[in-house]
Amino acid sequence: MVVEIPEELLVSKPGQFFMLKSLQDAFSLRRPISIHQVNKQDRTMEFYYEVKGRGTESLADFQEGEKISLQGPLGHGFSVVKDKKVIVIGGGMGIAPMKYLLDDLKENNEVTFIAGGRNQDAIEILDFFSFQKLRAYITTDDGSVGMKGNVVTKLKDLLEQDSYDQIYVCGPHGMMIAAAETAQEKGVACEISLENRMACGVKACVGCSIQTVDGMRKVCHDGPVFDSRKIVNYDPKEKASICCGN
């Protein structure tokens, strides 16, 4: 989805998100959707999402020229470093917000990108990516595209071969935890973007709270991006039953 955005809202960071809702949907809450790409010249933002329920179904029914209800940018995004060797990892739908991050990072860093999914269909979003100015690897569980295996296996290979300054990760829960543990074993800083369900997006409902080494934090406000070393026993399924953003 491409949305024309007021100029004052274009001041965003990779990893932040907007709460989106169709004006025709009187019953659903806004849905948190990460920023896929920003085009400041055209004053547009792109959002890439999976249709999973009533809220995203109503967004998918949008026609060109229709107006949308949006709130943002929200949350704490990725730390964009300079003059570093970095690895960016996206798995499945977690690939979507990494385009915005890659666009910011690759101008001033040596960037390696690892993208993975279950099969070719799971990574079709890569058709919208440019791989200029970076080194890219693709993995699929079934070997239909790229290397057969997963992104964590490739991450381990890269960390055995060379040293890196920073790792960024977004994707399924198990993949992120495995990547974060691998980064910690090698002493590499790692940021992960969590995908808890959210209802309000502005730290009011407490539904997305998680335990960190610094105490309870709200994913919508203190995240969704966190230093992986600060996360304690993260499991998004624990919050699924108490959130009202279904």
56 is known to lie in a ligand binding site: yes
Mean pLDDT of 121-136: 88
Mean pLDDT of 14-31: 81
Give, in order, the Cα–Cα distances in Å from 45 to each of 11, 12, 73, 110, 173: 11, 10, 11, 26, 26
Residue 21 and residue 168: Cα distance in Å, rounded? 28
Q: Is residue 129 part of a domain?
A: yes
190 is known to lie in a ligand binding site: no
32 is known to lie in a ligand binding site: yes
Better-predicted residue by pLDDT, 20 or 111: 111
Which residues, including other chains, have CB under 8 Å from residue 4's CB and lie 6 or more apart?
42, 43, 44
34 is known to lie in a ligand binding site: yes
33 is known to lie in a ligand binding site: yes
The chain-wide mean pLDDT, for the chain, equals 87
- pLDDT recorded at residue 246: 30
- pLDDT recorded at residue 240: 36
Structural domain boundaries, residue 24: 2-74
Q: Is residue 115 part of a domain?
A: yes
Q: Is residue 239 part of a domain?
A: no
pLDDT tens-digit series, residues 41-75: 899 999 988 787 777 777 777 788 888 888 989 99
Q: Is the dihedral of CA 228, 206, 55, 30 positive or negative?
A: negative
Choosing from 54, 74, 94, the residue where a domain stops is 74
58 is known to lie in a ligand binding site: no
The yes-or-no verdict on residue 181 having pLDDT over 90 is yes
- pLDDT recorded at residue 24: 75
243 is known to lie in a ligand binding site: no
Tell me which range, 26-35, 86-95, 196-205, is most confidently predicted by mean pLDDT.
Answer: 86-95
Provide the domain count of the chain: 2
125 is known to lie in a ligand binding site: no
The yes-or-no verdict on residue 239 having pLDDT over 50 is no
Choosing from 74, 92, 122, the residue where a domain stops is 74
130 is known to lie in a ligand binding site: no
- CATH code of the domain in which 28 resides: 2.40.30.10
